[in-house]
Amino acid sequence: MTVRTRFAPSPTGYMHIGGMRTALFNWLWARHNNGQFILRIDDTDQQRNMEEALGPILEAFRWLGLDWDEGPEVGGPHGPYFQSQRRPLYDAALADLLQSGKAYRDFETPAETQAQREAAEREKKVYVSSRGSLRLSTEEVAEKVAKGESFVVRLLIPRGDKVVINDHIRGTVEFDCSLMPDPVIARNDGSPLYNFATVVDDAALEITHVIRAEEHLSNTPIQVLLHRALGNKTPEWAHVPYVASPGSKEKMSKRKIDKYRSSPQFQKLFELGDQILSRLGIDSTANDLSPVMVAYYRQVGFLPAGVLNALVRLGWSLDDQTEILSLADMKRKFTLERVIKSAAGLDPDKMLSFQSHWMSQLPSHEKLQGCLSMLKQARLIDDEVDAETRAKVVRVIELAADRLRVFGDIFQLDEFFVADEDLKMDDRNFQKRVVKPDNALPLLQDLRQRLSDTENFSALPLHDLLQEFAAAKKVKAGDVFPALRLCVTGKAQGADLFQTLELLGKTCVLRRLDRGIGLAESQRDT
RNA sequence: GGCCCCAUCGUCUAGUUAGGUCUAGGACAUCGGAUUUUCAUUCCGGUAACAGGGGUUCAAAUCCCCUUGGGGUCACCA
């Protein structure tokens, strides 16, 4: 039988990074078995703007290159793929259950149910449904329905039973039905609830493997019972551990971003993100974009391959060695049996290291595209890129070399794109290397002269010139180079100094040197 | 609190299904050292873990039980 897996997000307006990993596992299992991966939208709840709510989710799939065989936009033989459009199926299943007596209309008011729950809790007893409505005769029920009395439909839990599932990841898990309240499967208006709609659809879509996060484990007995009541073949289950927040075992959650901000394990990611996003004019502290969301990584300039690699290694491993896997590798090698049982915290450090690796593998034209797009968004270059700018960006990327882990890292070398007067100065280091040392200013002034006299402003001759200069002045390279770098780039460190000078060009270097010297003089005076 | 799940270096993990080859392997991070005009890279090296207690066994990280700890879930949400 063909393997069919599904990912069934509720349209919430963003794609959760943990959900993305669950989706990835589903996708991988389907692809590994030459099966199908289905996207179904669980929008049984009343929905707001679908475009807005679903857009970011589909966008995340497209960005990472995870395609779906059936679902929104592509359709398929079992459509529609929005639960809000599948009502007739639920109605039919509900009628079936009601007729066979496997479900019943419950006329108990929510308040009554609530009171019973509380009473049970007070007495430290397990709450199970009162089933008062079950004592009603068929006529009485009909009468109440006719009178328009409000009710919900509950599944009749076979209290003497046990549900035993054989989970691909967790093994045998047992649930005692005598401890379970009868779950509501449909509201008064007949609209289905999650567990019910899910079961009807999983069966209708012929899903063979339900791969989902562990938090759904407690829903599973209800769904098994529902499948049985409906006469379905139950799918196989695989409850994968959820993605925890860095350094913890807690499920990552959008609501806890403020807490994450102060977590030491998260620090690095936030620092990187804040810095890059602010250049893009995005307020990263507003929390509508955070590391919980897939979109965050795209905005900061992460590579899909790196994100995918990091995600797949969270709770899954191929062996005791393999860390680097392309999507094609994963597809070939992924199996459910090698998914681990315990929750795994996202590791920003490791994510970044995967980025470095995949960035180093990226063809240069793709690097160029990524950086170009960043620079445009930050308005550091024009939207219409002329050949000269393009060539410059190529050079800067070469200079950046492995400092470029995510596209946003290109801003570390922004000195090539900002106007001389907009160059920001690293004040602390400027003080230390230019203002404070007594010999720095005279050296820089002499050096300015030497540079202005030289004709050949390319890296190699400049290197020789600088070395000779230092030797002639009987000073160490360390007394000259950092000061020069500070003046022309505003930074204490960066790419190769001589390449930097060459690329900046003589005019620019002299101008910035003058500016730096002036700045230092004024600061010395005061 | 009930039910359910989980437990190996700081982190992600290998090893647990078929107990010995594990004086517990790898990666990331970290700390040294070499290379380098800075930073980064690269290369070498180091620190660092079987939650605790009982069993079973000639032998347990691996099997069983208990304890502890962590987590998930308990809706007319999904």
3-class secondary structure, A239: strand
DSSP code at position A157: -
What is the CA A61 to C1' B50 distance in angstroms? 39
The two three-digit tokens of residue A183, written as one number: 């779950």
Q: How far apart are CA A38 and CA A29, in angstroms?
A: 12
State which nucleotides on strand B lie below 7 Å from a protein beta carbon.
1-8, 10-15, 25-29, 37-41, 70-78
pLDDT score, position A235: 97
> How far is Cα A172 from Cα A506, in angstroms, rounded to an integer?
73
Nucleotide nearest to A126 (CA to C1'): B2
| Distance, Å, A238 CA → B29 C1' | 32
Among all strands, which nt has the closest C1' to A10 (CA)?
B78
Residue A207 in tokens: 């899903």
Please, are residues A205 and A4 in contact by the beta-carbon 8 Å criterion? yes
Q: Characterize the bridge pairing of strands A171-176 and A184-186.
A: unpaired
**CA of residue A368 to C1' of nucleotide B48, angstroms:** 41
Q: What is the pTM of this model?
A: 0.95
Q: Are A399 and A491 in contact (CB under 8 A)?
A: no
Question: Which protein residue lies nearest to nucleotide B70, measured between its Cα and the C1' atom?
Answer: A249
The closest nt to A477, taking CA to C1', is: B37
Task: Report the sign of the C-alpha dihedral through residues A245, A249, A254, A260, in that order.
Answer: negative
Spot the catalytic one: A254, A376, A473, A506. A254
> Which one, of A381, A425, A415, A392, lies nearest residue A495 by Cα?
A415
pLDDT in the model for residue A263:
87
Contact A58, A25 (CB under 8 A): no
State the pLDDT at residue A73. Answer: 96
Sign, CA dihedral A163-A164-A167-A173, equals positive
For A130-143, b where at least 16 C-beta lie within 10 A, e where not — what string?
A: ebebeebeeeebee
Q: What is the DSSP secondary-structure string of A323-343?
A: ----HHHHHHH--GGGB-SS-
pLDDT of residue A46: 64
- What pLDDT was estimated at residue A488? 94
Give pLDDT tens digits along chain A (526 positions).
Answer: 899 999 999 999 999 999 999 999 999 999 999 999 999 999 987 666 788 899 999 999 999 999 999 999 999 999 899 999 999 999 999 999 999 999 999 999 999 999 999 999 888 889 999 999 999 999 999 999 999 999 999 999 999 999 999 999 999 999 999 999 999 999 999 999 999 999 999 999 999 999 999 999 999 999 999 999 999 999 999 999 999 999 899 999 999 998 998 888 888 899 999 999 999 999 877 778 999 999 999 999 999 999 999 999 999 999 999 999 999 999 999 999 999 999 999 999 999 999 999 999 999 999 999 999 999 999 999 999 999 999 999 999 999 999 999 999 999 999 999 999 899 999 888 988 888 888 888 899 999 999 999 888 989 999 999 998 988 888 888 888 999 999 999 999 899 999 999 999 999 999 999 999 998 888 776 5
Phi/psi for A195 (5° steps) reads -55, -40
A127 CA to B74 C1' distance (Å): 10
Residue A521 confidence (pLDDT) = 85
Give the pLDDT of residue A376. Answer: 96
Which DSSP string corresponds to A393-438? HHHHHHHHGGG-SSGGGGGGGGGGTS-GGGPPP-HHHHIIIIISST
Task: Give the nucleotide nearest to A189 (CA→C1').
Answer: B76
Q: Assess whether A254 carries a catalytic annotation.
A: yes
CA A314 to C1' B20 (Å) is: 31
